[in-house]
Structure 1
């Protein structure tokens, strides 16, 4: 499944004017990076892959449509799979984009 082009465009609009943002196709999706650190990605499986502070993983997992990301049977702390239904509302998408950006900006340079 190709990533959701409409979702990618909605995110681009929210990121307009933000400094140091780049896009990179990876893992069948489209990642948005801040200073080379991935903040979020439009998933090739649908929805959004969101980077969150690791200590907040459980908090976000309690929200509707949010689940910790699992890769190769292992939960990745600090990464959330966000269902399309959880980001259908523009305000919700804007909130999650901000979470990803703020966390990526808080990380040391690669």
Structure 2
């Protein structure tokens, strides 16, 4: 029993680290999906910021920048805040970019 009590904090830390890795992966995936959605809509002349924010989980606090491109392409950037489940560690920020060709109406 005493050995288990001594090993329990290490097991908890390993479990929380596994959960944290999952959150980081999920946040990166959400940022990439949001950037693609924002770039797609902005390249067609639509509200890219709204599309990018709608495609990301709200608890990640997405910050979307999707201006209409001046040339042949539009690039969108999404930043999300990844919370920390490990005590005494701050959260992380994940940032992803996506570029789409502008809609060419001939």
Same fold flag (TM > 0.5): no
| Higher Rg | 2
User: When the two structures are superposed, what TM-score results if normalisation uses the length of structure 1?
Assistant: 0.25
Greater fraction strand: 1
Greater fraction helix: 2
User: When the two structures are superposed, what TM-score results if normalisation uses the length of structure 2?
Assistant: 0.26
